[in-house]
């Protein structure tokens, strides 16, 4: 099947994990892919694997000037875009104190005692809050705006996919900033889908549960990963190979009646 023959695709955060899997799967079905990432070397590896006219562009999605430059580079190389995947993101780094509080609470609850406050919000630094919202929510907006402008102008329709999270649907005591940023992306997705309809631009989101990628490997202490995995009805984290096919479906012409939807592959958590 070659659903992406002739399609020009931009994937942000495409150097690693979910974004790399989506970029390479779309390339395998014929797409030319622009891999935008902070990690230029990683983006180049993925673009080289994608082959053809695919390209790597260093870009911080939280910086509107950087985003404008990156989309201009895509214009120069590919002459525009048909599909935009807003995937770039980071998780809060491991926090030893929070991890210990969470594990102590687990022991307390198992012993029939009341848990202590996790202090997920009261201990959160303004800088961490700000960067999280800037990368995820502002970043998605900056890229969506550049993509919308081009798709509207070209008049050929198009597809956008935003990668949000199960934590944007369910909330998170440990990471309120991540959860709020991802919740904002859900509302933005619905707004973009309504805005894009007249121009034939479909906009959907995937809200993954826990997926085994460098992000989760770095963000979760092994004990926390075990505790989280126990809460997944399927008993395991998902893989990027279980996310990419859904992304390919949503951005392909076969999903022509699907827009404004938030789909959450999460192993039965929610």
Ligand X SMILES: NC(=O)c1ccc[n+]([C@@H]2O[C@H](COP(=O)([O-])OP(=O)(O)OC[C@H]3O[C@@H](n4cnc5c(N)ncnc54)[C@H](O)[C@@H]3O)[C@@H](O)[C@H]2O)c1
Nearer to ligand X, 13 or 196 (CB): 13
End-to-end CA, the chain: 32
From candidates 10, 19, 23, 57, binder to ligand X by CB under 6 A: 19
From candidates 25, 32, 54, 87, binder to ligand X by CB under 6 A: 87
Distance, in Å, from the CA atom of 251 to the CA atom of 246, rounded to the nearest integer, reads 9
What is the full DSSP assignment across 13-81?
TTTSHHHHHHHHHHHHTT-EEEEEES-HHHHHHHHHHH-TT-EEEE--TT-HHHHHHHHHHHHHHHSS-
Residue 261 lies near ligand X (rule: CB under 6 A): no
Are residues 179 and 121 in contact, defined by beta-carbon separation less than 8 angstroms?
no
* 94 strand-pairing partners: none
CB of 45 to ligand X, least distance (A): 11
Nearest Cα to 224, choosing from 91, 102, 97? 102
Distance, in Å, from the CA atom of 53 to the CA atom of 224, rounded to the nearest integer, reads 42
3-state secondary structure of 155: coil
Q: Is 260 left (phi over 0), alpha (psi -120 to 50) or beta?
A: left
From candidates 78, 160, 211, 224, binder to ligand X by CB under 6 A: 211
Are residues 11 and 34 in contact, defined by beta-carbon separation less than 8 angstroms?
yes
From candidates 118, 124, 186, 215, binder to ligand X by CB under 6 A: 215
Residue 246 lies near ligand X (rule: CB under 6 A): no
Residue 59 lies near ligand X (rule: CB under 6 A): yes
Residue 172 lies near ligand X (rule: CB under 6 A): no
CB of 5 to ligand X, least distance (A): 26
Which span sits near ligand X by CB under 6 A: 92-100, 208-216, 221-229, 254-262?
208-216
For 149, the enclosing helix (H) or strand (E) is helix 139-154
Residue 18 lies near ligand X (rule: CB under 6 A): yes
CB of 62 to ligand X, least distance (A): 5
From candidates 28, 30, 39, 191, binder to ligand X by CB under 6 A: 39
Burial of residue 2 (CB within 10 Å: 0-12, 13-18, 19+) is exposed
Region 97-136 residues binding ligand X, contact defined as CB under 6 A: 135
Nearer to ligand X, 68 or 215 (CB): 215
Residue 163 lies near ligand X (rule: CB under 6 A): yes
Is 178 an active-site residue? yes
Q: Which of 4, 138, 142, 178 is catalytic?
A: 178
How many residues touch ligand X under the rule CB under 6 A: the total is: 30
Residue 42 lies near ligand X (rule: CB under 6 A): yes
Region 133-162 residues binding ligand X, contact defined as CB under 6 A: 135, 139
> Which residues are marked as active site?
178
Query: Site residues (CB under 6 A) for ligand X?
Result: 12-13, 15-19, 37-39, 42, 59-62, 87-90, 135, 139, 163, 165, 208, 210-211, 213-216
């Amino acid at each position: 099947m070659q659903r992406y023959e002739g399609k020009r695709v931009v994937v942000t955060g495409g150097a690693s994990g979910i974004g790399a899997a989506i970029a390479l799967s779309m390339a395998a079905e014929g797409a030319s892919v622009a891999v935008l990432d902070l990690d230029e070397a990683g983006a180049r590896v993925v673009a080289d694997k994608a082959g053809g006219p695919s390209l790597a562009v260093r870009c911080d999605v939280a910086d509107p000037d950087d985003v404008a430059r990156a989309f201009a580079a895509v214009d120069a190389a590919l002459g525009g875009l048909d599909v935009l995947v807003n995937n770039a993101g980071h998780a809060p780094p491991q926090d030893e104190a929070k991890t210990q509080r969470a594990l102590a609470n687990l022991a307390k609850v198992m012993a029939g005692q009341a848990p202590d406050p996790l202090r997920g919000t009261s201990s959160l630094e303004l800088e961490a809050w700000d960067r999280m919202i800037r990368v995820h929510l502002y970043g998605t907006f900056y890229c969506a705006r550049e993509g919308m402008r081009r798709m509207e102008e070209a008049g050929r329709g198009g597809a956008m996919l935003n990668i949000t999270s199960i934590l944007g649907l369910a909330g998170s005591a440990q990471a309120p900033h991540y959860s709020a940023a991802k919740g904002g992306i859900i509302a933005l997705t619905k707004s973009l889908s309504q805005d894009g309809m007249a121009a034939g631009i479909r906009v959907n989101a995937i809200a993954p549960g826990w997926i085994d990628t460098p992000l989760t490997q770095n963000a979760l202490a092994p004990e926390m990963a075990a505790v989280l995995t126990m809460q997944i009805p399927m008993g395991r984290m998902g893989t990027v190979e279980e996310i990419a096919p859904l992304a390919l479906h949503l951005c392909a012409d076969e999903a022509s009646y699907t827009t404004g939807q938030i789909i959450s592959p999460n192993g039965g958590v929610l």
